[in-house]
Amino acid sequence: MNATERLVLELPADLVATLRTIVKSGAFTSESELVSTVLQAWYGSDDLSEKELDEVRTAVAEGLAEADAGKFIDADEVHAELRARIKAIADRRE
């Protein structure tokens, strides 16, 4: 298991609310797991090509821009869209 460190972040209240809503949906067990997953997706994995990473980064950036603009959508819709994008990447690999 990787070593962990505690990190305290100051985030806008609406972003914290979004994180908590996503966690409450059951998609993640904690805010820490969610943030870790987003950061891993943002910075990539050895398994993804640069083009695939750019697609993930673009999706995250779009979501953050929408959140900053006060535009929120239902967590189930977000999960469905993410699953569709991930499936599209996986389908292209086959």
pLDDT 10s digits, 35-71:
888 887 777 556 667 787 788 788 888 878 888 888 7
d(CA 29, CA 60): 20
Q: Which of 40, 37, 29, 34 is nearest to 19 (CA)?
A: 34
Rounded to two decimals, the pTM is: 0.48
- For residue 82, what pLDDT band results from cuts at 50, 70 and 90? confident
Q: Which residues lie closer than 8 Å to 32 by C-beta, 6 or more apart?
A: none
pLDDT at 39: 81
Q: Which of 60, 67, 64, 65 is nearest to 81 (CA)?
A: 60
Residue 94 in this model has a pLDDT that exceeds 70: no
